[in-house]
Structure 1
Amino acid sequence: MSIQHAIEQKLGTGFNAEFLGVENESHMHSVPPNSETHFKVTLVSADFAGQGKVKRHQAVYKVLAEELAGGVHALALHLYTPEEWQLSGQAAPDSPNCMGGSKHDPARQG
Structure 2
Amino acid sequence: MVEEIRRRLTDALHPVALEVLDEGHKHTGHANEGKGHFRVRVVSADFTGLSPIKRHRLIYAALGELLDNGIHALSIDASVPD
Note whether the superposition's TM-score is higher than 0.5.
yes
Structure 1 CA distance, aligned partners of 2:68 and 2:23?
Answer: 18
Residue of structure 1 equivalent to 2:46:
47
Once the two structures are aligned, what percentage of the paired residues are identical? 36
**Alpha-carbon RMSD:** 1.0
CA distance, structure 1, for counterparts of residue 44 and residue 70 of structure 2: 26
Q: Normalized per residue, which structure has more helix?
A: 2
Whichever of the two has the greater Rg, that structure is 1
- Which residue among 22, 25, 28 is the counterpart of 2:23? 25
- Give, in angstroms, the shift of residue 79 of structure 1: 0.3
**Aligned 1:93-104 pairs, distance under 5 A:** none
* Greater relative contact order, per chain length (Cα 8 Å cut-off, separation 6+): 2
Q: Is 1:10 aligned to 2:8, yes or no?
A: yes
Task: Measure how far apart 1:19 and its partner are.
Answer: 0.2
1:55-104 superposed Cα distances (whole Å, 9 cap, x missing partner): 00001001111110102101000001002xxxxxxxxxxxxxxxxxxxxx
Q: Secondary structure at the match of 2:19?
A: strand
Corresponding residue pairs, total: 78
Question: Which amino acid in the other structure matches residue 26 of structure 1?
Answer: G
* Segments of 4+ moved more than 6 angstroms: none
Structure 1: where are the runs of 5+ without partners?
84-110
